Amino acid sequence: MELENSLAVVETLFEEFFNPYTSNCRKHEIEVQLSEIKEVPHKGNLCLHFIKHSSSQHVIMFTLQILELLRSSEQLIGLILFRGMCEEFLGLNVKLQTLSCKKEVKKFQEDYIPRVLYLLTDILENISSKSKHTATATPPPSPTQNNSVEGQAPNHNYSADYPPDVRAIIQESLAILSLLFTSIPVEQVPLLTIRAVFNFTKCSSYSQDDDDLCLSAISTVNELFYRKSCPHGAEPLFKAIYILAVELLRNMTTSVTYRTENTDELFVDKISELLVLLIEQHFCRFEADPTFTALEFLSLFFQYTMSLTNSVHFLRCLSVWSTFFKRVKPYASVKYHQVCVGLDLLTINIDVNNTEWQFFLNSSAEIISQAAQLAPLETLHQLPILTHSMVLFPTYVKYSQVHDAFPQFFNSILRNLQSQIGPDFTKNAMNIFFQVAVWEQQSNNLEGVKQLLDIFIVVVQESTNKNFFSDILQICMETIYPLLSSQAMEKPDVFLSFLELLYSILKFHWLYFYNSQVLMGFSPGCNEDEVGPDVPKRPEQLLAILKVFGEALMMDDINIFRQSLASLQELNRSKKLYHKVNSSQQSPVVESNSQSYLQGLFQSNLLPELLRVLLQTFVYKKQALAKEDIMLAVYDMSEVDFDGFIYKFLPLFLESADGLKGKFRDILLCHFQNNKERQTMSK
């Protein structure tokens, strides 16, 4: 009797629902009532009675939905239990100690894993082939009603969501596959399984709520790449993944419903990761096949890259391009010629209003550099476009985004493409940055100076570039240093860049100041009038640079002190700076007033004063954090004439030092006299 009453209630509800005079409010109430009926106990008996005794098509379809829910619930429970069993089972190989037990487990895996893969594939295939709204609570449409009837459900399913129980089954199935892909032999994965997984990456036909299914599906496929192996027999699998990835890109670029701006960031991350892994691990293998071409993939990915308006998404895609350029063989460059040119245009001309420059520009410059290796002439043709972006820089420098980002972009261009853009463009650009720096300095803003210094550093570090070296040196010593010396403590970061530039000048252009030994009288045919081995060609300029490092040691800022000292030490290691002396036997540490360059530029002009500054710093504990570095430098400088330092220079220094008691002087003198090894002196 209870079953008959339930049937009568359901039939009455459906008749009322599809009555054209029923209000929307009442229809909503009916939907709630029908949902409650789905949750009653003993649903199986209820469904059997409905199917046997009802002639209503709506009731029968409703009953089938309930049965589907019952099946889904049981299926979900089974999948959850099975995943737990898989986690335990796949870990047995680690736990088992005996070889015989491991063999039994391996045999069990070989027998049952293919069956499990088949069942999971079948579950995913069945779900993806069904209409999404078949398990929703809304009553099915009446086949006799006109399409205009109020309340009729739509006839398409593209905007409908999978119901929660079905989504849970999909997620659980993908989770089990991810687990299996981490351990089973790659060659055992069926192509049908991969296709079934890729069915859930077609986000253009899904609603926004289905993004997590797309993300899980791509993550599942990526598990196959984390193992970084392609055993014999697995090649078709990865070729199939490549083809499916191309289909996915086509789906995203041609769909009228897919919008890149609505795409979840994690999904773009996973797509980019898949493509990077595919190119890194298998592109060379694909290229070996004469029938293979990546042009369709590159064309579709190029379209996808161009469609992005989010700078974070754009940078993810640039990482894929970077990986591709690293894998392309030189002989294949002609094949991908147009792609390189198009990518150059994209990265150079991208709309700055829609891009966060700070993150974008440096990455773009690297991609342009990589593309230039495959299409150098065309890339060079695109680069003069920057001549516009440069001329306008002084006009737009008042805008903070342009002020901060464009110099970084130009800096990246210099690092990667200095030879391509040519000396004229570089010189004009440096003049513009110099003008901006001077203009900003008038308002006590040194940011422009720092940007100019950073650009100078890149130019100077290109050791073969001698076009602007003398101009840079003149600007540094005659304009920038007088400006910075009085503001070093207020703007230490700018002064640190200045020190780095001076160090780069000496490191990369030492021959500008000293002749090489081949030109200094050691080769046959040299005459007595040539510059000698320890006499610099431009002593005044060299001495001026070295004095900057010496003056920096007297500043209180620990970072300035350390960088200056480290630069001098490195120059001594690479250029024997402290040992620049002629054949004269006079001790430079004693005769500190000698200005003769024939006695050694560094020794006679700077070495005594530097030793005095470093010892004062040590004695009066001004830079306690750099104590060990100070003593190592003192040793390296005194090593030039150690006896002169110990027995003449040091006693005179300690005698003239203010505030030192006699006993303390004796202790210091004894320490230096008894510790003549480099390591022991620094203790």
Q: What is the pLDDT of residues 148-192, one digit of tens each?
A: 333 333 333 333 467 888 889 999 999 999 999 988 888 889 999
Share of the chain above pLDDT 70, in %: 75
Residue 678 pLDDT: 64
Least confident range from 162-166, 482-486, 647-651: namely: 162-166
**Is pLDDT of 302 > 60?**
yes
Band of residue 524 on the pLDDT scale cut at 50, 70, 90: very low
DSSP state of 255: -
Residue 661 within any structural domain of the chain: no
pLDDT over 90 at 569, yes or no = yes
DSSP H helices, 132-289, are 164-181, 191-198, 211-226, 235-254, 265-287
Query: What pLDDT is attached to residue 596?
Result: 38
- Of 443, 534, 549, 558, residue with least CA distance to 501: 549
Q: Report the pLDDT averaged over residues 3-12.
A: 85
Q: What separation in angstroms does the CA of 143 have from each of 9, 28, 140, 273, 472?
A: 21, 20, 9, 47, 84
- Per-residue tokens: 397: 């420098």
pLDDT of 321 over the 90 cut: no
Q: Comparing 308-322, 385-399, 556-570, 619-633, which segment has the lowest mean pLDDT?
A: 385-399
Do both 170 and 191 map to the same domain? no
Q: Which amino acid is at 391?
A: V
Confidence of residue 147 (pLDDT cuts 50, 70, 90): very low
Amino acid identity of 624?
A
Between 21-25, 181-185, 211-215, 453-457, the lowest mean confidence (pLDDT) is in 211-215
Answer whether residue 593 is part of any domain.
no
Do 19 and 108 belong to one domain? Answer: yes
For the ranges 441-450, 510-519, 603-612, the lowest mean pLDDT is seen at 510-519
State the DSSP H helix or E strand holding residue 111, giving kind and residue range, or none if neither. Answer: helix 99-129
635 pLDDT exceeds 60? yes
Domain boundary among 476, 503, 531: 476
Tell me the average pLDDT across 219-228. 91
Q: What mean pLDDT, rounded, does the chain reach?
A: 78
Last-in-domain residue among 476, 496, 511? 476
Distance, CA of 2 to CA of 69 (rounded, Å): 22
Which of 56-65, 164-173, 353-362, 443-452 is the least confident region? 353-362
Q: Which of these ranges, 175-184, 307-316, 353-362, 368-377, has the smallest mean pLDDT?
A: 353-362
pLDDT of residue 530: 43
- In this structure, the answer to whether residues 409 and 378 fall within a common structural domain is yes
- The pTM of the full predicted model, rounded to 2 decimals, is 0.57
pLDDT at 353 over 50: no
- Asked if residue 246 and residue 107 are part of one domain, the reply reads no
Does position 361 have pLDDT exceeding 50, yes or no?
yes
CA distances from 607 to 63, 90, 533 (A): 98, 70, 19
Q: Which residues of 358-387 are buried (b: 16+ CB within 10 A; e: fewer)?
A: eebbbbbbbbbbbbbebbeebbbebbeebe
Please tell me which residue, 4 or 346, carries the higher pLDDT value.
4
232 Cβ neighbours under 8 A, 6+ residues apart: 187
User: Looking at residue 590, what is its pLDDT?
Assistant: 42
Per-residue confidence (pLDDT) for residue 586, from 0 to 100 = 42
Residues 446 and 366 in one domain: yes
Enumerate long-range contacts of 562-568, CB under 8 Å, 24 or more apart. 562/626, 562/629, 563/496, 563/499, 563/500, 564/499, 565/614, 565/626, 565/629, 565/630, 565/633, 566/629, 567/499, 567/502, 567/503, 568/610, 568/633
* Contact status, residue 558 vs residue 625, Cβ threshold 8 Å: yes
Once rounded to an integer, what is the mean pLDDT over residues 539-561?
91
Flag the least confident range among 134-143, 291-300, 431-440, 550-559: 134-143
Going by C-beta distance under 8 Å and a sequence separation of 6 or more, which residues neighbour residue 637? Answer: 578, 607, 610, 611, 614
State the pLDDT at residue 553.
93
**Across residues 465-479, what is the average pLDDT?**
86
Which pLDDT does position 259 carry in this prediction? 65
Q: Is residue 517 in some structural domain? A: no
Convert the pLDDT of each residue in 47-85 to its tens digit.
Answer: 888 888 888 888 888 888 888 778 878 888 888 888 888
Are 634 and 618 within 8 A, CB to CB?
yes
Distances (CA, A) of 507 to 431, 502, 512, 571, 633: 24, 9, 10, 7, 19
Report residue 505's pLDDT band, with 50, 70 and 90 as the boundaries: very high
For the ranges 129-143, 175-189, 520-534, the lowest mean pLDDT is seen at: 520-534
On the question of pLDDT at 525 being above 70, the answer is no
**169, 205: one domain:** no
Tell me whether residue 608 is in a domain.
no
> What's the pLDDT band for 95 if we cut at 50, 70, 90?
low
Judge if 177 and 196 occupy the same domain. Answer: no
The boundaries of the domain holding residue 388 are 328-476
Q: In this structure, is residue 563 part of a structural domain?
A: no
Chain centroid to CA 62: how far?
52
232 located within any domain: yes
Reference 313, options 271, 369, 367; nearest CA is 271
467 and 339 belong to one structural domain: yes
Q: What is the DSSP letter of 144?
A: T
Residues 174 and 223 placed together within one structural domain of the fold: no
Give the pLDDT of residue 123: 92
Checking if the pLDDT of 193 tops 90, the result is yes
Q: Where are the alpha helices (DSSP H) in 523-625?
A: 539-552, 558-575, 601-605, 607-619
- Considering 476, 496, 514, which residue would you say is the last residue of a domain? 476
State the average pLDDT over residues 601-615: 80
Whether residue 101 is contained in a domain is answered as yes
Cα–Cα distance between 536 and 123 in angstroms, integer? 82
Mean pLDDT of 131-147: 45
Residue 320 located in a structural domain: no
Average pLDDT over residues 412-416: 77
Reported as a pLDDT band with limits 50, 70 and 90, residue 522 is very low
Residue 338 buriedness (CB in 10 A; 0-12 / 13-18 / 19+): middle
Residue 334 and residue 294 share a domain: no
Q: Are residues 99 and 201 in the same domain?
A: no
434 against 386, higher pLDDT? 434
Same domain for 423 and 357: yes
Instruction: Count up the domains in the chain and report the number.
Output: 3
Percent of the chain with pLDDT over 90: 20
